[in-house]
Amino acid sequence: MSDQTEDTAERSEPTKGVAGIRKADNGNGVEIAERTALQRLLGASTVWIGVVLVALCIVFSVLRPDAFPTRFTFQTLLIETSVLLVLSVGMTFVIITSGIDLSVGMVLIFSGVIGAKSMEALSPDQDATGAGWGIIGIGFLLSVAGGGLWGLLNGVLVAKAKIPPLIVTLGSFGAALGAAQLITGGVDTRTVPEKLRDTLGFGTTLGGVPNLVLVATVVTVLAAWVLHTTRFGRYTYAIGSNEEAARRSGIAVTRHLITVYLLTGVLAGLAGFMNLAYFGTTTIGGHTTDNLDAIAGVVIGGTSLFGGVGTIVGTVIGVFIPSVLKKGFVIAQVPVFWQPIAVSVVLVAAVWFDQVRRRARDRK
């Protein structure tokens, strides 16, 4: 018995093969190659996406060294991307479950309208310009609640009624926009509290860091912690990898999917309030492509449309790639019509890379 144990230990001991690749015996005489830390790093899609982002920054810095690599440019880039990043964080959870949410842009508008109208209704003469923090707090809560209601509705229809998420959220897309237009009569609300604009909209903290960026950073860090270290995150990956297997293993798939869509709606509501603080109006005519921009950022960041794969860090990088492209094109005076073409090329390339990676994984 002892000879057998020693023999097994000898065969399972790692050895070095060609090019320094470590190999280990699985105990049955079959050698299994172990990837080194460097190989794992180079094989991570997030690393290569980060390289693309750095390369874009270098290219635009070389083309316009007087305009692109400046504090003002990077500060405005961060501010302009903050709202989209909050939307994309929620979208990451949905896509990892193998779902989709096309309604986030319109839910953002609806939530901003709810917040603005409630602050207006609680203010003297229907003018919220001079409103205090109490009224602002109520407006914030109602904005987030409004977004959460749409997310809850989406989740129930997807998880309980078993309607495809594409159809459900496409319906919510039109319904949320229509509801916002009914509430406002199609006219933007512009009486936003000055305190809100001066603090969240344009205020800075920690030596000049915009408050909008800080809010987006806190949301991103918390989401990364939840997705990568908690049971909720593990269940999210499990459902996206194989929903039926997750259900048979004891995961409450229906409840979890409802919670994921609810979370996405809440974050869309928060994004709507951030947008209201920054622009000082409900911007009903804007954000028609926010849903596509969020999906593009998430997919470019390495999250698979087939579910089960994705990271928050990848989403952050993926969101900034289209933003840097657009900002760089403007500064480099490239015709604006090239912007959607460039973003589309990057998006298609990201999806193609994901499919290649999946085929390579399935062959192993």
The three state secondary structure string of the chain is CHHHHHHHHHHHCCEECHHHCEEEECCCCCEEEECCHHHHHHHCHHHHHHHHHHHHHHHHHHHCCCCCCCHHHHHHHHHHHHHHHHHHHHHHHHHHCCCCCCCHHHHHHHHHHHHHHHHHHCCHHHCCCCCCHHHHHHHHHHHHHHHHHHHHHHHHHHHCCCCCHHHHHHHHHHHHHHHHHHHHCCCCCCCCCHHHHHHHHCCEECCCEEHHHHHHHHHHHHHHHHHHHCHHHHHHHHHHHCHHHHHHCCCCHHHHHHHHHHHHHHHHHHHHHHHHHHHCCCCCCCCCCHHHHHHHHHHHCCCCCCCCCCCHHHHHHHHHHHHHHHHHHHHCCCCCCHHHHHHHHHHHHHHHHHHHHHHHHHHC
* Residues above pLDDT 70, as percent of the chain: 86
pLDDT for 38 equals 53
CB burial readout 337-349, b (16+ within 10 A) else e: eebeebbeebbee
> Could you tell me the pLDDT band of residue 28, with boundaries at 50, 70 and 90?
low
What is the pLDDT, as a whole number, of residue 364? 63
Q: Taking residues 24-35, report their average pLDDT.
A: 51
Task: Report pLDDT digits (tens) over 177-186.
Answer: 999 999 999 8
Mean pLDDT of 245-256: 95
pLDDT at res. 342: 83
Which of 122-131, 320-329, 355-364 bottoms out in mean pLDDT, i.e. has the lowest? 355-364
Stretch 331-354: mean pLDDT: 81
pLDDT average, residue stretch 41-45:
56
Give one word for 186, left, alpha or beta, with left for phi > 0 and alpha for psi -120 to 50.
left
Supply the pLDDT for residue 160.
95
Specify the amino acid at residue 289.
T
| Averaged pLDDT of the chain | 86
Judged against a pLDDT cut of 60, whether residue 19 lies above it is answered with: no
Specify the range with the lowest mean pLDDT, choosing from 23-37, 281-295, 344-358: 23-37
> For 59-113, what is each residue's pLDDT tens digit?
999 989 998 988 889 989 999 899 999 999 999 999 999 999 999 999 999 999 9
Residue 9 confidence (pLDDT) above 50: no
Q: What does the pLDDT read at residue 61?
A: 92
